[in-house]
Amino acid sequence: MKPPRLPPRIDRLLVPDVGMDGRELMLSLWLVPEGSRVLEGDRVVELVCGAATIDLESPVCGRLVRQLVGEDFPVSAGTAIAEFLSADEV
């Protein structure tokens, strides 16, 4: 008899504290579409704060399964903006 299958492991990408207190931080551009395979460290999204651009990287090897925030929407530190399925589950 096979052991029960565990639910897939979902990893979330959170907006880090970028030290721009009081300034609006926007999700500018998704660099990777939903459903794409990514490697840990691949740039997946671009945030903008004033003239500063901040690229966020994939936290795992796997697949970007859901973008939780659309382009041109404001975000803040701690906001979950994407979900990834670990390569172990893909």
The tens digit of pLDDT for each residue in 20-52 reads 777 889 999 999 999 999 999 999 999 999 889
- Taken in order of first residue, the domains within the chain and their CATH numbers are 19-86 (2.40.50.100)
The whole-number pLDDT of residue 24 equals 85
The whole-number pLDDT of residue 18 equals 83
Pair of tokens at residue 37: 């395979």
pLDDT at 53 over 90: yes
pLDDT at 90 over 70: no
The amino acid at residue 73 is: F
Q: How far apart are CA 60 and CA 32, in angstroms?
A: 14
Quick one: average pLDDT of 5-26?
A: 84
C-beta of residue 15 within 8 angstroms of C-beta of residue 75: yes
C-beta of residue 56 within 8 angstroms of C-beta of residue 62: no
Q: Which helix (H) or strand (E) holds 38?
A: strand 37-38
Q: List beta partners, residue 43.
A: 57
Q: How far apart are CA 77 and CA 74, in angstroms?
A: 11
